[in-house]
């Protein structure tokens, strides 16, 4: 029985040495390239969440966590609110509490959700008129009604 345990420990030791040798020589790099895109995507998502946390007020961040969207008051139109979804989708526009339109505006290159939320907020607050000119407009609920049967 002791011989089997000694043999097993020897095999584990040799395997450990081989792994350490490959790691020291960088021989695992071809294998690691397969996980690199996922790793960089996760890092981008993490950075986007950090930026979003910094750019949103504590109340906005809590609203996002609790309801899945952030409401941004219009700087130009009294009683207008833009509801920005946290997980992608159309921005809903409310005037005096009633839905008046939905907006679609996406970046040219794919971005993490957190960056898209910040993009919408900054564009609305920075130049609302340009934001409205660039966005595709839809009647409220028309997209969800259109695809409800699918």
pTM (predicted TM-score): 0.70
Q: Is the dihedral of CA 90, 92, 132, 46 positive or negative?
A: negative
- Identify which of 130, 132, 119 has the alpha carbon closest to the alpha carbon of residue 55: 119
Is the torsion defined by CA of 111, 113, 117, 120 positive or negative?
Answer: positive
pLDDT tens-digit series, residues 32-64? 555 566 677 778 888 989 989 999 999 999 999
Bridge-based pairing of strands 98-104 and 69-73 is unpaired
The residues spanned by each domain of the chain are: 56-146
Q: Which residues contact 105 (CB under 8 A, 6 or more apart)?
A: 91, 120, 123, 131, 134, 135, 136
Q: Judge whether residue 146 has pLDDT over 70.
A: no
The per-residue pLDDT for range 95-112, each reduced to its tens digit, is 999 999 999 998 888 899
């Amino acid at each position: 029985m002791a011989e089997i345990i000694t043999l097993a420990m020897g095999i584990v030791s040799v395997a450990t040495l081989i792994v350490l040798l490959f790691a020291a020589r960088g021989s695992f790099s071809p294998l690691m390239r397969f996980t690199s895109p996922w790793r960089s995507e996760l890092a981008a998502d993490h950075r986007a969440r950090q930026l979003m946390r910094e750019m949103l007020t504590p109340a906005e961040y809590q609203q996002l966590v609790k309801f899945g969207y952030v409401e941004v008051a219009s700087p130009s139109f009294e009683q207008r609110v833009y509801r920005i979804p946290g997980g992608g989708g159309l921005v809903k526009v409310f005037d005096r509490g009633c839905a008046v339109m939905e907006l679609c505006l996406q970046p040219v290159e794919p971005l993490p959700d957190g960056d898209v939320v910040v993009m919408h907020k900054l564009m609305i607050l920075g130049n609302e008129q340009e934001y409205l000119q660039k966005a595709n407009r839809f009647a409220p609920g028309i997209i969800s009604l259109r695809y409800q049967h699918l």
